[in-house]
Chain A
């Protein structure tokens, strides 16, 4: 335009020179309140630099006059948490598993601790509600590979299964078929035998043929009657619960390939009180296993 800016004749405000479809943009100033907030944020940021850790340097960073540190805040928060949990948290450390379970207040505290720890750490394998999946034991029923008493559960959590921990729970199901320890026909016969063990109809001839094989190869862990042995983590083959599937194909697969799961040793991650709470949680939610 020519030197002086154009003024809008109605409002007396200068225009910016922008025009769209005959509508001219007025050069109104920013609202005063907006400007003040803007200035305030600038002032705030200057104060923040001075008071709080802000600038990176070569040998470290500026610490700020308040000496604020996120690490110290976390440490304080953890301390406060311990204070907050107070008596219940302290009792969890000293009380025995049975005492925790028998005291309503302590039990309810352990259950809430156990629930959150379980959801964060155990749920990926055992499921949110502990019902497990194929190959991952169901923790809500009455079947226990390594024992369902409070101490058994506590121990399993602490040392894990095939975890590499020196005290680990260890069991091994050989791959009888894959490793050529048994003939394919023998594996077929054993499948019938195991099916018969769990009170289902099976080929009687095959069962008879497999009896000596079972006694020789399987009874050492699963017992002569097939009822399993919690000392070796050997499952009971006579009940209705099947970790790797109940149908013949699954049973055959298990004898042929010999699957076995792994559970981490949580003793390296959790303090004893947390493991106690977790053991109580699992025990209570399973209906108090034996």
Chain B
């Protein structure tokens, strides 16, 4: 800790200019800018909320690690992986859904839905996401399990850290870090399976034939998992994550949050067995709520930014309350309004339907509805029409006008299909495409399953007699699976104009 910043006015400078080693005055005292982390040793707790947390942990991690291994038959044209982000072929597969790059708006929609759902849940129940489902929370929890396995629970860990280095300490620490790294590697490894056929990639990984990006991604994810869940933990939530700050804006007095019921607990103090409870609160100041907290906070100080609403302090407190023979729920999911009401001797009422929750709920329903409608009515065939802009039109030797269009045809289904392209809106228009068979006044294009083709189509028509230079027109494709229509225009110029130049 030397040479941080030459801060003018720092007392250290005046007392000790140039400390021999270098010309620069040793600037800044250790910890001048940052508070050193106080190690947190969360104690293992049992109870309702802890059980829910275990179940969520198993469910989320299970989904994460196993999902890429689910198979889904898509015929020979596509990989049979249920969830796959296929960058090479620019496709996204999710069970029965197959998305093309043109449909990224579904992802935008999904993000909006996710955000709204989070707003709603937060407004109703506080930071449930943070306490239960956030990857940072889940992996940290898992890492603490490994930590406990090697170093024991809170007291043992504290003792071990304070003890001088010994063989016992060394192997415990090494073992812990080895398991952490193994979990991290599995995490980073699982990530890349989402981007490639999992069984194939698994083989390639072990024989060293996987793409460099796969190894690099796995390495990066391994490193971030290890450092975030292993060494940084609650600091991520407190200092790095923007959500706590944003989530605060969704909370109000009626949001259910982990709450120390001051009205019941105070005045707190140690309680001797056999003495009465009159004239004092139920809190026996055992600090069990503090020692189990993974964020290292004291919930009795009131609701605070660091609290992730995980409810472990509730389990710890309930346990103690049972032991001292008082009703459970001194710390519970409760609202600020309810605490205030009881303090004032009123009966608390819980308002779940409030303007805020109503707004979030309705918006969520609307956006989800639009998404669902879009997905259900999604056509397997798609057509894009791009007009030639240079030249906008060509005058042919017989005076007719010809326009060029690039048609992009997409077959988003698993079956081959023949699309019939027709053009309407211009009198006497004739279609032509190089390399595609003509059928009367339409063109037939065969597309394989999951196929696309871009086709140069020319439309020739007699020069219009009136002054009109831009005629609205329509491209239509028909197939057994339905039809798609795209509006366009047919352009023509002044009589004789253009010829003079050539």
Which A residues form the contact surface with B (CB < 8 A)? 10-13, 28-29, 32, 101-104, 107-108, 111, 128-129, 131-134, 138, 140-143, 236, 239-243, 245-247, 283-285, 287-288
Contact = CB atoms under 8 A, between A and B. Distances in A.
A127 to B, nearest CB: 8
A240 B395 contact: yes
B25 A11 contact: yes
B276 interface: no
B458 A287 contact: yes
B448 to A, nearest CB: 10
Where chain A touches its partner, the secondary structure class is loop
Interface stretch (B94-102, B289-297, B494-502): B494-502
Closest 6 CB pairs of A and B: A12-B17, A239-B397, A129-B390, A288-B434, A287-B458, A284-B434
A103 B22 CA distance: 75
Interface stretch (B141-149, B315-323, B398-406, B415-423): B398-406
A132 B502 contact: yes
A131 B391 contact: yes
Nearest to A243: B502
Given A242-B502, A246-B500, A140 B434 contact: no
A283 B390 CA distance: 16
A140 B404 CA distance: 10
Contacts of B454: 108
B456 A284 contact: yes
Given A29-B22, A241-B397, A102 B435 contact: yes
20 contacts: A12-B17, A28-B6, A29-B24, A102-B435, A104-B435, A104-B453, A133-B501, A140-B404, A141-B395, A143-B396, A239-B397, A240-B395, A240-B397, A241-B395, A241-B502, A247-B500, A285-B404, A287-B394, A287-B402, A287-B432
A142 B399 CA distance: 11
B493 to A, nearest CB: 13
B3 interface: yes
Contacts of B24: 28-29, 32
A143 B402 CA distance: 13
B25 A12 contact: yes
Contacts of A131: 390-391, 394
B8 A10 contact: yes
B440 interface: no
Contact of A143 (B3, B397, B455): B397
B23 interface: yes
B13 interface: yes
Nearest to A288: B434
Interface in B428-453: 432, 434-435, 453
Interface of B: 3, 6, 8, 13-14, 17-18, 22-25, 388, 390-391, 394-399, 402, 404, 432, 434-435, 453-456, 458, 460, 496, 499-502
Contacts of A107: 434-435
A240 B453 contact: no
Contacts of B22: 29
Contact of B394 (A13, A102, A140, A284): A140
A129 B397 contact: no
Contacts of B18: 12
B437 to A, nearest CB: 10
Nearest to A135: B502
Contact of A141 (B13, B396, B435, B453): B396
A288 B13 CA distance: 84
B499 A242 contact: yes
A240 B498 CA distance: 10
A141 B3 CA distance: 75
Where chain B touches its partner, the secondary structure class is loop
Contacts of A287: 394, 402, 404, 432, 434, 458, 460
A282 to B, nearest CB: 11
B8 A101 contact: no
Contacts of B435: 101-104, 107, 284
Contacts of B396: 141-143, 240
A55 to B, nearest CB: 34
B456 A285 contact: yes
Given A140-B391, A239-B397, A101 B13 contact: no
Contacts of A285: 404, 456
A242 B432 CA distance: 24
Contacts of B388: 129
B331 to A, nearest CB: 48
Contacts of A236: 397
A251 B23 CA distance: 88
A145 B499 CA distance: 17
A33 B458 CA distance: 64
A12 B13 contact: yes
B429 to A, nearest CB: 14
Nearest to B432: A287
A24 B281 CA distance: 66
A31 to B, nearest CB: 9
Contact of A142 (B397, B453, B456): B397
Nearest to B456: A284
A72 to B, nearest CB: 22
A40 B7 CA distance: 27
A143 B456 CA distance: 19
Contacts of B502: 132-134, 138, 241-243, 245-246
B8 A11 contact: yes
B419 to A, nearest CB: 13
A103 B446 CA distance: 11
Contact of A240 (B14, B23, B399, B455): B399
Contacts of B398: 239-240
B323 to A, nearest CB: 57
Given A11-B13, A28-B6, A140-B391, A241 B499 contact: yes
A108 B396 CA distance: 25
Nearest to A111: B456
Contacts of A288: 432, 434
Contacts of A104: 435, 453, 455
Contacts of A101: 434-435
Contacts of B458: 287
A12 B397 contact: no
A143 B391 CA distance: 16
Nearest to A280: B434
A87 to B, nearest CB: 16
Contacts of A283: 434
A29 B17 CA distance: 14
A10 B399 CA distance: 89
Nearest to A14: B23
A288 B453 CA distance: 18
A104 B398 CA distance: 30
A138 B394 contact: yes
A29 B23 contact: yes
Nearest to B460: A287
A146 B348 CA distance: 94
A134 B23 CA distance: 76
B430 to A, nearest CB: 11
Contacts of B395: 141, 240-241
